[in-house]
Chains A and B, each alone.
Chain A
Amino acid sequence: MSKMWVIIKREYAQVVKKKSFIVGIILTPLFMVAITVLPAMLASKQSDDTHEMAIIDLDDKGVGEKFAESLNQYTLDDDLPAYEVTDIYNINPDDTLKLAEQRSFLDSLVRDKQLKSYLIINYKAEENDSIVLVAKSFGFRNNSRFEKRMSDILSGIRLDNTEVNLEVDSILNLTRRIDLSQQAPGGIERDFMTMYMGGIIFVMIIFMTIITYGQVLMRSIIEEKNSRIIEVMISSVSPFQLMAGKIIGLGLANLTQVGIWIVIGLGIYSFRGDLNISADVAATMFNPVFLTFFLAYLLIGYIMYSTLFALIGSIVNTDKEAQNFIFPITMCLILPVMTAMYIIQEPDSAITVTMSLIPLFTPTMMILRMNFIGVDAFTFANPIILEATIGIVITSLTTLLIIWLTSKIFRIGILMYGKRPTLPEIFKWMRYK
C-alpha cells in the first residue's frame, strides 16, 4: 500500500504541477459551454434589428394590411417593433407584366439589403392559397410566425364566407392552441432548454474528464513502455500496484479538477440573485442527492473507463495503434449525448431504461435521465433513484471484472514490445502464470 501511495503521489504531482492542468480547469468549461449551451443560446436569441419587409397583395380582401397589423404584437428586447412593413402593393393577379416589374424591383431591394424580405400573398377562396416569401436567407422563427399569422387571417376570411353563425373571433378562440407548461414535483418550472442543458453539462463533465484523464493514463503507459522504465517500476512494485497507483493518482487529479468546478459553481450559485440564474437550473444542479449520484458515477465511470485505457496502453506500442481502440470507447461515452434528444422525450421508456443499465452507458445515461426526470429526495419510491442505485451496483461489479481482466493482460502486455498482439495472443496472456 505504501508503495502504491508513492506512485499515486507521483502521478498526481505530474498532472497537477503542469500548466496544462490550470489551463484545462479554465478552458474545459468554456469548451463545454461552446459546444452545448452556445448553439442553444444563439437559437433562442432575438435578432437585434427590425425586420423590414414589403408585401405584394394579389387580392382585394385587405389580407396584406391585416397581416402587417398582426405583426405588431412582436417586439424586440428594447421594445422596438420586430417587423416593419414598408409598403403594401395591391396588384391585379391578371396583370402579370406589372407583377413581374414589381417583383424585380423588390428583388433588387432585397439583394441590396434595403429590405430583408417581401411576401407575395395570393389568396384563393376555393383552392389552396399561394403565399411566397422572398428573402436572401430564411429563419425558423420568422417562418413559423408568418405561417401562424397568415393561417389565422386566411382562416378568418374563409370562416366569414361560410354559413357558420358565429363571430370569427369566437371561432378562432374556440380552436386556439395550448402551450404545455412543464413542472417538476414541487411546482418548479422545467422548460425544455434548461433540462437539456443542465443534463448535457453533467454528461459532458463525465465525458470530458474520462476522455482526458483516460488518455493521459494511456499515453503515460505507452511512454513508460517505450522508455522501458516500466521494467524498473515492476522490479519495485507489482504490475497491479503500478496500474492501480496510476489510476488512483490521475483519478485524484480528476477529482481535484471537478472539485474546483463544483466550488466555483457553488460560488456562483450563492450569488444567484444577482446573476439572475433561474431557480429550476439551480434546483436540479445543486440538489445534494443528485450531486452525490453524479460524483459516484463520475468516480465509477472514471475507474471503469480508465482501466480500459490502461488495458489499451499496455497492449499497444504507439499512440497511433491506440487510436483504433479509443474509437469504440469514445462512442460508448458519447452515445447518451447523441441520443439525448430521444431520452429527453422518453426518459422512462423501456429502451432508455435498458440502455441506461448497460454498464458502459450507465454513468452518462443515468445522469442524463436523473436530470431530465428530476430528483429531490433519496427515496426508492422514485423509480429513477432505484434504477440509479441498481446502476451503481452493476457498474461497480463490471468495473471489478474489468480490473481483474485488465490486470491479467496488463502484466504481460507491458513487457511485450514490437509487434501489436493479436486477439488470440491476448487471450493466451490471460492464462499465463
Chain B
Amino acid sequence: MDEYLRLENICKTYESKKAVDNLSLSVPQGSIYGIIGPNGAGKTTTIRMVMNIIAPDSGEVLIKGSKAKDDFRNRVGYLPEERGLYKQMTLKEIIRFLAEVKGLPVKKTDELMDGWLEKMSLIDYKEKKVEELSKGMQQKLQFITTLIHQPDLIILDELFSGLDPLNIELIKNVLMEEKRRGTTILFSTHVMEQAEKLCDYICMINGGQKVLDGRLSDVKSKFGTNSIQINMDGDGGFIQELPGVEKVSEFNNYIELKLSAEADSQAILKTVSEKMTIHRFEIMEPSLYDIFINMGGVKPSDFNKEGAANV
C-alpha cells in the first residue's frame, strides 16, 4: 500500500521536557492508524506537528514523500481533543463557515449539508444556534464540520473522549465509510479497547518515544503472550502446577492463565475438563493494553491520570 504520511525523527522540546523524542512512523494511504499512549505521552504534540500547527525542532513531516504545501490544510479534517464550536452561530452558519475556511465553496457545502445533518439526525436543528444543542449533538455537529470538505486525511485527537456509546457506534460507521472512500485516518487515544476494534495499524508511544508500531495483527502475534480464560466449578488450585502455566489470576467468576510460549493449550483443556465442569474455555488474543504494559514499562495507573500537561 502507498504511504500517505511519514514522520522522520521528529523532536519537540518544551522548556526542559521532551514532548516528542525522535519519533518516526509511516501511515499507509487509506488505513486507519492509531497512536496510542497514556496521557502526556506526546500524542497531541505529534498530531499538532503533523497539522503544521507547531513546527518540530528537528526531523521532518512528509506528505506523500514531500513536505506539506500550503493547500495541505484544506485536505485535512481535524477534530481536537477538546471539542468546541462558536456557540452563537446557527448550525447552517457554522458548517458553512468551517467548510469555507477549508476552501469549500458555499454552494458545494449547501449541497452536502443536508445529507450530513440527516445522517447525524440533526436536520431539525439546521437553523438553531449551537448553544441550543445537547453536548452529544454538538459532538456530532463537530464531526460533520471535520468531514464535510471530504478531506484526504482525517486526524482525530482522543477520538473517543466524551462520546457516549451510541455516538461511538455512529462515528465508527462513518469512519468506515470514509475509509472505503480511500481516506487516511489518523487518531490518537488512550482507550485501548476502542482502538483495537477500529485500527489497522498502531503506534504506541510513551514519554515522547515510540514503544512499537506496525500492523495490528502483526503486533499482536509478535508481542502477544498466550493466555486462557476458564469458567468452571470447583477449586482449580492444581492448575498452577500444570506444565506451561506461568501465572494464574483469579477474577470474580473466571480465572485467567498466562502461558509460556511453548505451552499446549489443548493439553490444559483436557486435564482441566477431566477434573471439573468447564462452562467456558477461551484462548484469549492478547489485548493492546497487555502488550503496552509489557512493552512500555508503564504502570496501568498512567492511563487513568487526568490533567496531565496537554502540550
By a beta-carbon cutoff of 8 Å, the part of chain A in contact with chain B is 2-3, 6-7, 10, 14, 224, 226-229, 231-237, 411-412, 415-418, 425, 428, 432-433
Contact = CB atoms under 8 A, between A and B. Distances in A.
Contacts of B55: 432-433
B84 interface: yes
Interface in B263-311: 309-311
B97 A6 contact: yes
A104 B127 CA distance: 78
Nearest to B56: A433
Chain B at the A interface: SS class: loop
Contacts of A232: 78-80, 84, 98, 142, 145-146
B80 A236 contact: no
A412 B19 CA distance: 15
A234 B57 CA distance: 19
Interface stretch (B46-54, B174-182, B202-210, B241-249): B46-54
A14 B86 CA distance: 11
Contacts of B235: none
Contacts of A224: 84, 86
Contacts of A10: 97
A228 B83 contact: yes
A229 B85 contact: yes
Contacts of A411: 54
Interface stretch (B32-40, B100-108, B112-120, B218-226): B100-108
B76 to A, nearest CB: 6
B54 A233 contact: no
B15 interface: yes
B87 interface: yes
Contact of B53 (A3, A234, A418, A425): A234
Contacts of B81: 228
Interface in B131-189: 142, 145-146, 155
B82 A235 contact: no
Contact of B78 (A6, A235, A418): A235
A231 B53 contact: yes
A231 B85 CA distance: 10
Given A415-B48, A433-B56, A14 B88 contact: yes
B82 A6 contact: no
B293 to A, nearest CB: 29
A432 B53 CA distance: 12
B102 A236 contact: yes
B150 to A, nearest CB: 14
Given A227-B87, A229-B86, A235-B76, A415 B53 contact: yes
Contact of A6 (B56, B74, B100): B100
Nearest to A425: B15
A10 to B, nearest CB: 6
A417 B310 contact: yes
Contacts of A412: 54
A267 to B, nearest CB: 33
B73 interface: yes
Sorted nearest first, the 3 A-B pairs with minimum C-beta distance are A227-B84, A235-B78, A231-B80
A224 to B, nearest CB: 8
16 contacts: A6-B97, A6-B101, A14-B88, A228-B82, A232-B142, A235-B51, A235-B78, A235-B80, A236-B98, A236-B101, A415-B54, A415-B311, A432-B54, A433-B55, A433-B56, A433-B57
Contact of B73 (A6, A236, A428): A236
Contacts of B86: 224, 227, 229
Contacts of B57: 433
Nearest to B142: A232
A123 B15 CA distance: 83
A228 B15 CA distance: 23
A138 B120 CA distance: 75
Contacts of B83: 228
Contacts of B84: 224, 226-229, 232
A106 B245 CA distance: 116
Interface in B192-223: none
Contacts of A237: 73, 101
Nearest to B76: A235
B100 to A, nearest CB: 5
B88 to A, nearest CB: 7
B101 A231 contact: no
- Which of A233, A235, A432 counts the most B-chain CB atoms under 10 A from its CB? A235
Nearest to A225: B84
- Which of A229, A418, A428 counts the most B-chain CB atoms under 10 A from its CB? A229
Contacts of B87: 227
Given A227-B84, A227-B87, A228-B83, A233 B101 contact: yes
A3 B103 contact: yes
A118 to B, nearest CB: 65
A51 to B, nearest CB: 58
Nearest to B146: A232
A10 B106 CA distance: 14
A229 B138 CA distance: 12
B15 A428 contact: yes
A432 B102 CA distance: 26
Given A6-B101, A433-B56, 14 more contacts: A6-B100, A227-B85, A227-B86, A228-B80, A228-B83, A231-B80, A232-B78, A232-B80, A235-B53, A235-B73, A235-B76, A235-B155, A237-B73, A412-B54
